[in-house]
Amino acid sequence: MCLATTSDLTASKRAEGRIGESESLYRSLVETTPEAIGLMDMNGTIIMFNKKALEVFGFEATDDLTGKNVMDLVAPENYQRVLDNMEILQKAETIRNLELISYKKDGQQLWLELSSSILFDDEGKPKSIITAFKDITGRKSAEEVLRDSEAQYRLLADNASDVIWTADMNMDITYISPSIYAMQGHTPAEAKNLTPEQRYTPESLESVSKRFVEAMANEAAGIVQPGDIGTYEAEYRRKDGSTYWTETKASFIRDAEGGARGILGVTRDISERRLSEEKLVKSYEATKKALGDAIYTMVKIVELRDPYTAGHQQKVADLATAIAGEMKLEDARIDQLRTAALIHDIGKMYVPSDILSKPGKLSEIELDLIKTHSKSGYDIVKGMDFPGVVALAVLQHHERLDGSGYPGQLKGEDTLLEAKILAVADVVEAMASHRPYRPALCIDKALEEISKNRGKLYDVAVADTCLELFHSGRFEFK
């Protein structure tokens, strides 16, 4: 006789099945996840590495790691760091984003970023450590290059004679190079804390503020200007209260998407340049005054020898500059034209005064003598320090479009525009004024002459501008 006992194992088998399925599911998840995952016991002995983890370290299978301790993969200089973090892990049960140097199977160094957690058994005792990690070698290399680059730029900035500075979008200074001390007398820390009112003179503060307000408004509106903020000059205050002039080139610091995240500026002391410019301006003004005095003297000499044409050159200059202004000539050309007009008859100093004031008809010889004044005037003026086209305008003011003028019988395309303007102004004023050989003709007769011969003797654009000035009432001889 034998006794047998039986028990229903169905529930137990089902539980084992569920456990098997669960382990299979978790293993499948661990193996297919893109994260590198490793499992170690509490002493650091490697139990399992998933496929991604094996790839990171250059192993083909977990069997290659059998019996290895995780410390075998850690660089010696990181041993203590790992041990310190194991203590933290024991207390906090989790550590995150630990960076350390490790080695591949072939000995190649790599940087890892890892996070670890403790797994517990059914009784709540620490059983193993699961770690997720990723290779950050590329990132660390890029950071090292960036650090080297930043160090080089900081070295350049710290040793540049110009002041290099950065500011945030609220215009608060975030960096200023040590060269500020030599330029301003402030340390970088002091300079960073200056208010705009302490930094600039009132006039410069207003102009600089306006520039930055406009630049910020354009940036907010999505209007990207070449050079962003651009180059500007401003007067700064030194620590001792004196002032100096600077030139600054400023632009926005932009992120990868092109958005402005700050401002970069390079400021240099231009006090000596400004002083030189001021001296140059004063010298120019002095030269201009001396030149004006010379012109006035020459005009008076001509008028003393030919009193009947007193005021002629001044009136011609007034009309010529009015015509040039209407024709939108540059200021410099108008100034040179005015100079030429004021002395266009200077060559009459070489013409006998009795011919200049002769009341009757001139003989052919006398007329030829009169005609020499253009060339004589040119010879006088070209030897003096007059600017630009002054001498040529004096020479050509009696030339005509059809080549019938003198002294060169030049045709329209060969004559300066300034000379064409001077020719029209000269004819109008001369016809409207008294001469020894005839009484003054009315201004209408003078304008009729210009209108009749526009395009033949006189430049069309010049003639039309002159006629419009008089007909509109915008010009009349004083």
- At 437 the pLDDT is 53
- Band (pLDDT 50/70/90 cuts) for residue 27 is low
Spatial contact of 114 and 74, defined as CB atoms under 8 Å apart: no
Assess whether pLDDT exceeds 60 at residue 470.
yes
For residues 433 and 312, give the distance between their C-alpha atoms in angstroms, rounded to a whole number: 8
Distances (CA, A) of 85 to 79, 91, 92, 101, 118: 10, 10, 10, 14, 13
- At 436 the pLDDT is 56
The pTM (predicted TM-score) of the whole model is 0.47
Q: Which of 159-163, 345-349, 389-393 has the lowest mean pLDDT?
A: 159-163
Assess whether pLDDT exceeds 70 at residue 154.
no
- At 107 the pLDDT is 85
Residue of higher predicted confidence among 401 and 288? 401
The gap from C-alpha 216 to its chain's centroid, in whole angstroms, comes to 15
For residues 127 and 295, give the distance between their C-alpha atoms in angstroms, rounded to a whole number: 107
Distances (CA, A) of 389 to 9, 194, 332, 341: 119, 52, 11, 12
Spatial contact of 232 and 246, defined as CB atoms under 8 Å apart: no
Do 276-471 and 160-269 fall under one CATH topology? no
Q: What is the mean pLDDT of residues 15-31?
A: 52
**Fold observed for domain 160-269:** Beta-Lactamase (3.30.450)
Spatial contact of 392 and 412, defined as CB atoms under 8 Å apart: no
- Band (pLDDT 50/70/90 cuts) for residue 2 is very low
Spatial contact of 52 and 34, defined as CB atoms under 8 Å apart: yes
- At 256 the pLDDT is 77
For residues 358 and 391, give the distance between their C-alpha atoms in angstroms, rounded to a whole number: 28
Summarize pLDDT for 302-321 with one digit per residue, the tens.
777 666 666 888 899 999 99
- Band (pLDDT 50/70/90 cuts) for residue 276 is confident
DSSP string, 348-383: GGGS-HHHHT--SPPPHHHHHHHHTHHHHHHHHHHT
CATH 3.30.450.20 fits 20-137, yes or no: yes
Q: What letter represents residue 440's amino acid?
A: A
Instruction: Provide the total of helices (H) and of strands (E) in the chain, helices listed first.
Output: 18, 10
Spatial contact of 397 and 430, defined as CB atoms under 8 Å apart: no
Highest mean pLDDT: which of 89-103, 142-156, 235-249? Answer: 235-249
Q: What is the mean pLDDT of residues 90-101?
A: 86
Structural domain boundaries in the chain: 20-137, 160-269, 276-471
- Sign of the torsion angle spanned by Cα atoms 185, 187, 188, 194: negative
Triad 370, 372, 374: Cα angle to 5°: 105
User: Which CATH number is 276-471's, of 1.20.1290.10, 2.30.30.100, 1.10.3210.10, 3.40.640.10?
Assistant: 1.10.3210.10
For residues 245 and 269, give the distance between their C-alpha atoms in angstroms, rounded to a whole number: 6
- At 1 the pLDDT is 39
Give the CA dihedral 457, 462, 468, 470, nearest 10 degrees. Answer: -70
- Band (pLDDT 50/70/90 cuts) for residue 295 is confident
**In the predicted model, what is the mean pLDDT of the chain?**
83
Spatial contact of 423 and 397, defined as CB atoms under 8 Å apart: yes
Summarize pLDDT for 33-52 with one digit per residue, the tens.
778 888 888 888 888 888 88
Assess whether pLDDT exceeds 90 at residue 194.
yes
- At 307 the pLDDT is 65
For residues 167 and 269, give the distance between their C-alpha atoms in angstroms, rounded to a whole number: 20
Q: What is the mean pLDDT of residues 443-467?
A: 95
Summarize pLDDT for 400-426 with one digit per residue, the tens.
999 999 999 999 889 999 999 999 999
Residue of higher predicted confidence among 224 and 221? 221
What are 233's two structure tokens?
């000059």
Residue of higher predicted confidence among 269 and 225? 269
185 Ramachandran zone, left/alpha/beta (phi>0; psi -120 to 50): left
Percent of the chain at pLDDT exceeding 70: 86
- At 9 the pLDDT is 45
H or E, element range at 201 = none
For residues 12 and 280, give the distance between their C-alpha atoms in angstroms, rounded to a whole number: 106
- At 153 the pLDDT is 60
3-state secondary structure of 194: coil
Percent of the chain at pLDDT exceeding 90: 33
Q: What is the mean pLDDT of residues 160-182?
A: 88
Summarize pLDDT for 361-392 with one digit per residue, the tens.
888 888 888 899 999 989 988 877 677 789 99
Say which residues have a Cβ less than 8 Å from residue 379's Cβ, sequence separation at least 6: 347
Assess whether pLDDT exceeds 50 at residue 219.
yes
